[in-house]
Structure 1
Amino acid sequence: MEDLRRLLRELAVFEGELPVFDPSKAPGSPAELFTEWLLGAVAAGVREPHAMTVSTAGADGDPTARTLILKGVGPDGFRFASDGGSVKARDLAARPFAALTFYWAPLARQVRVRGPVVAATPEESAADFLARGVPARAEALVGRQSQLLGDPAERDAAVKESLDRLAADPGLVAPGWTLHTVRPESVEFWQGDARRRHTRLRYLAVDGGWRRELLWP
């Protein structure tokens, strides 16, 4: 255990050339700055730059986190999708709020989003489902996310059955598939610095607009 502690302390952080972030030049809305940072991560070759940690809490207040793919971002908020029988779907039904975390390690950049979650219309959710690749749709049609699995062969057989159903009816949509939008009340942008002079800029939703404020690292 002590060897592990030593290893963790000795691991290097904030190596390489990091981008410069001047918060005084940040745009008026967090969606604009997020898009700029996301495209910067894409240009830098960051793997899965659209991956994010989605944190929810159930009726008992217990938090749960998992990594999902961002489906879109705009003035209305940040979008992700969920199977209707999943833990996150049950959490959101009980407490329709979520926190999102993006971290692009090569750039030492993090974005944190918090706010209420609103479900899209059934038509929008169906369109999102049909835009997924065939393997992803087949898996979602099984509808057993987070349930106990006795044997991987059961999973393979269930997915094969879903693939056959899709071949017969490509327009099938998983019941309960829902596109969600996190409508941010706060969005924080963090730029790491090798000298630990980190920069934190937070946008707070105020009276239909945004207030920007700097935070101590």
Structure 2
Amino acid sequence: MTESLVVGSIRDLLRGLAVFDTELPEFDVDAAPSDPVALFVEWLTSAVEAGVREPHAMSLATADAEGRPSSRVLICKDLAPDGTWYFATGAGSRKGRELAATPYAALCFHWPEQGRQIRVRGAAGPADAERGAADFLARSPGARADALTGRQSQVLDDPADLDAALRAAHAAIEADPGVVAPGWTVYGVRADEVEFWQADRDRRHTRLRYTRQDDAWARHRLWP
């Protein structure tokens, strides 16, 4: 009885939450550029100007060798003109291991203030070591120390172990400011598909999908 009340309460809470209750921008598909990179830059600039919080945050979905998915939110580090989105992590992390087993990934940017999503899917792989080192050295000291512990996603039996590892990592950085965590890697997702999704209060959502065709892109409007 208690369980059903809790479930019912959660269901009512979820159904009572407002959706698309703000002024939403227009999306003129006919005026969209032929290249998804150009449209991404246009939407990102608009998000920044509108004060969207952390518009460079994106979800990253990967899969292990058995096809079991996992996802997490991280920061987009760069975007190349050829349609490659970049992020960074340790090669020994769960996402790094899964990308080694299944070199494909999906990304999703979600900007609820504007009712917008951008979905990216494609082959994923590591960039060169020099790019990874440059990214690592551009991180804050705290972020570098965290990466230098080298144990992301492993079981932490005692928080004191983390404190000790971080102290050792900070000491290593002070001794050698140019130290780079072994395995720190910049990965690129070279999109073969990019979808731009604009919400509508009446659920007539506007969706535009770009599909890579050799060195060009095909565009298709999708049903909501």
Q: What TM-score, normalized to structure 2? A: 0.95
Listed one character per residue, the Cα deviations across residues 107-151 of structure 1 (whole Å, up to 9, x for unaligned) are 000000000012111111111111111110010000000001012
CA distance in 2, matches of 1:82, 1:216: 36
The Cα shift of 1:46 comes to 1.3
Q: What TM-score, normalized to structure 1? A: 0.98
Partner of 2:191: helix, strand, or coil?
coil
The Cα shift of 1:38 comes to 1.1
Say whether residues 1:206 and 2:178 are aligned partners.
no
Match of 1:102 in 2: 109
Q: Which of 162, 177, 192 in structure 2 is aligned with 1:185?
A: 192
Q: Are the counterparts in 1 of residues 99 and 125 from structure 2 also a CA contact under 8 Å? A: no
> Runs ≥4 in structure 1, deviation > 2 angstroms?
none
**CA RMSD after TM alignment:** 0.8
CA distance in 2, matches of 1:55, 1:149: 24
Listed one character per residue, the Cα deviations across residues 74-94 of structure 1 (whole Å, up to 9, x for unaligned) are 223100011121011111111
Say whether residues 1:21 and 2:27 are aligned partners.
yes
CA distance in 1, matches of 2:192, 2:156: 38
Partner of 1:190: helix, strand, or coil?
strand
Q: Which of 48, 70, 87 in structure 2 is aligned with 1:64?
A: 70
The Cα shift of 1:42 comes to 1.1
Matches within 5 A, 1:1-217: 1-76=7-82, 77-217=84-224
Partner of 1:31: helix, strand, or coil?
helix
CA distance in 1, matches of 2:12, 2:169: 49
Q: Which runs of 5+ in 2 are unaligned?
A: 1-6
Q: Which runs of 5+ in 1 are unaligned?
A: none
Match of 2:4 in 1: none
CA distance in 2, matches of 1:47, 1:73: 19
Question: 1:106 is matched by which residue type in structure 2?
Answer: E
